[in-house]
């Protein structure tokens, strides 16, 4: 579970950090199932819905979390990061950017983060704490000079201490000869296996959270794969859920196609990378089974293999009520295609996963958005799955769907800097449990709304002084 995420000096966020805090600050009795269970009985929220005008910085929060994930999983700052520092003020190019996250994994709470100079592609510092009654520093890295691992060494076996010293010296030697953009966490976690009970397992716990407990859907980006199609839920159940959204879909099925037909649906370079992934990562042997699911803009596809038999490729076909013929995925409306993006949110087999969605309401009727968030909270009422999303859909800005401490606003000031604040901030100023929050929001009571200048537009269009066409 995500507890807290904070960052600064990234895109529209300057020296003052933005913090998305998933810990409830209110003793709200409504929607008790919106509180996830934690080992320390912390009140971690299930949802965060983020509102703001266009270009306010909503997507910056989404992008910052994805950026941190990318750096952790790849192990180093990407080349494109050189221009990602905040450009709203002078001098920020030389200042540090900071990314810090608190999370639960395997019953333990961690605080992990790093500071860096994006323009120079260098890691300035890096840290990992285990949180509890008392915070315990597991490691602290200062540039390319040193890594303090005393916290990891405490209680470690002689074997683990030896491994840690070898890995640390190898890491420092490597970063001193390079640009210093690598992460110590990734170097010790990616591809490493530690025995159960090893103190070094904290590294793999944090790394695996980014890798396995995190799923993101962008405004114009579908998930790379879909669990519901490849493994899990019965397609009949998925079809029934889609039908509940008034899509007209009555059934789904997998149609077998030849491996050579896959190029009809995906570019050859994508198909090549999928086959390479299968070759490098899928186990072989007479009893080995694998299923790789992927999708394009036009199709859901799967490649299944069992033992020594030839791989089997399938494509998803859709049947509509009253139709005697199947439809291809590409023939569906934008709204229906968008719904498929979210089936994993409802059918995931994971009991602890963060779903991060930019512009949840894109291509949706307001009632579809309402249905989706309601189903998510009912389906996951007994687990630790979380949903964080940005939206403009104000019909769900209501205490019928969310707690007061689950609603957030992003606002951009006159200098271009973005700030983030919760609705709970206004609890003593009208944001009561019975308030019409969406109406008050559009009235500008909470900020986070666009500042429109009709006069300026009319002047630019040469319409100043013209009679009002609406009169």
**DSSP string of 310-329?**
PPEEEEEEEEETT-SSEEEG
Q: Which of 312, 332, 352 is the C-terminal boundary of a domain?
A: 332
386-390 sheet: strands from edge to edge: 214-217, 354-357, 386-390, 47-51, 407-412, 418-422
Do residues 142 and 125 touch, judged by C-beta distance below 8 A? yes
Query: For 13-17, 117-121, 287-291, 375-379, which range has the lowest pLDDT when averaged over its residues?
Result: 287-291
- Determine, yes or no, domain membership for 234: no
Is the per-residue pLDDT at 427 higher than 70? no
Same domain, 439 and 359: yes
Q: Which of 298, 332, 366 is the C-terminal boundary of a domain?
A: 332
- Determine, yes or no, domain membership for 242: no
- Measured at the CA of 256, the angle between CA 252 and CA 262, to 5 degrees, comes to 105
Same domain, 297 and 359: no
Do residues 266 and 301 touch, judged by C-beta distance below 8 A? yes
Range of the domain at 314: 248-332
Same domain, 146 and 34: yes
- Determine, yes or no, domain membership for 230: no
Domains of the chain: total:
2
pLDDT at position 233 is: 67
pLDDT band at 471 (very low <50, low <70, confident <90, very high): very low
- Determine, yes or no, domain membership for 326: yes
Same domain, 212 and 273: no
Same domain, 318 and 389: no
Same domain, 274 and 418: no
Q: What is the pLDDT of residues 58-116, one digit of tens each?
A: 999 999 999 999 999 999 999 999 999 999 988 899 999 999 999 999 989 999 999 99
- Determine, yes or no, domain membership for 146: yes
Same domain, 117 and 217: yes
pLDDT at position 469 is: 47
Q: What is the pLDDT of residues 135-167, one digit of tens each?
A: 999 999 999 999 999 999 998 999 999 999 999
Same domain, 81 and 107: yes
Q: Which of 290, 307, 332 is the C-terminal boundary of a domain?
A: 332
Same domain, 322 and 390: no
- Determine, yes or no, domain membership for 240: no
Strand partners, 356: 216, 388
Same domain, 215 and 253: no
Q: What is the pTM of this model?
A: 0.89
Is the per-residue pLDDT at 33 higher than 60? yes
Same domain, 208 and 345: yes
Give the CATH number for residue 208.
3.40.50
From residue 390, alpha-carbon distances to 53, 64, 255, 289, 357 in Å are 11, 13, 35, 38, 7
- Determine, yes or no, domain membership for 454: yes
pLDDT band at 429 (very low <50, low <70, confident <90, very high): low
Same domain, 275 and 374: no
């Amino acid at each position: 579970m995500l507890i807290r995420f904070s960052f600064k000096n990234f895109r529209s966020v300057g020296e003052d950090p933005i913090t998305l805090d998933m810990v409830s600050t209110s003793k709200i009795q409504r929607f008790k199932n919106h509180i996830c269970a934690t080992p320390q009985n912390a009140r971690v929220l299930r949802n965060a819905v983020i509102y703001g005008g266009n270009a306010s910085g909503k997507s910056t929060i989404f992008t910052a979390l994805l950026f941190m994930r990318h750096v952790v999983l790849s192990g180093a700052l990407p080349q494109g990061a050189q221009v990602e520092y905040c450009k709203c003020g002078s001098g920020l190019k030389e200042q540090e950017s900071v990314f810090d996250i608190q999370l639960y994994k395997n019953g333990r709470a961690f605080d992990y983060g790093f500071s860096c100079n994006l323009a120079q592609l260098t890691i300035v510092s890096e840290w990992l704490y285990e949180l509890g009654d008392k915070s315990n520093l597991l490691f602290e890295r200062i540039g390319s000079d040193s890594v303090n691992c005393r916290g990891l060494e405490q209680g470690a076996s002689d074997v683990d201490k030896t491994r840690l010293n070898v890995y640390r010296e190898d890491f420092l030697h490597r970063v001193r000869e390079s640009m210093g953009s690598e992460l110590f966490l990734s170097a010790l976690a990616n591809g490493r296996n530690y025995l159960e009970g090893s103190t070094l397992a904290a590294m793999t716990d944090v790394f695996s959270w980014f890798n396995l407990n995190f799923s993101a859907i962008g405004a114009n980006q579908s998930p790379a794969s879909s669990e519901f199609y490849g493994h899990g839920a019965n397609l009949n159940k998925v079809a029934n859920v889609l039908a509940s959204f008034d899509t007209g879909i009555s059934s789904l099925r997998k149609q077998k196609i030849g491996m050579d037909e896959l190029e009809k649906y995906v570019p050859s370079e994508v198909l090549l990378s999928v086959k390479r992934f299968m070759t490098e990562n899928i186990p072989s042997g007479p009893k080995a089974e694998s299923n790789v699911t992927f999708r394009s803009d036009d199709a859901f596809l799967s490649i299944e293999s069992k033992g020594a038999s030839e791989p089997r490729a399938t494509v998803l076909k859709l049947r509509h009520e009253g139709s005697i013929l199947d439809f291809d995925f590409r023939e569906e409306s934008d709204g229906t295609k968008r719904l498929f993006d979210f089936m994993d949110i409802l059918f995931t087999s994971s009991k602890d996963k963060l779903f991060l969605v930019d512009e949840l309401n894109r291509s949706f009727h307001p009632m579809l958005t309402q249905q989706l968030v309601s189903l998510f909270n009912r389906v996951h009422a007994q687990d630790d799955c979380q949903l964080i999303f940005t939206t403009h859909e104000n019909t769900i800005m209501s205490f019928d769907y969310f707690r007061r401490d689950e609603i957030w606003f992003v606002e951009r000031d006159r200098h271009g800097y973005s700030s983030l604040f919760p609705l709970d901030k206004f609890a003593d100023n009208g944001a009561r449990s019975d308030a019409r929050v969406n109406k008050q929001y559009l009235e500008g009571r909470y900020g986070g709304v666009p500042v429109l200048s009709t006069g300026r537009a009319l002047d630019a269009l040469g319409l100043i002084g013209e009679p009002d066409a609406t009169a």
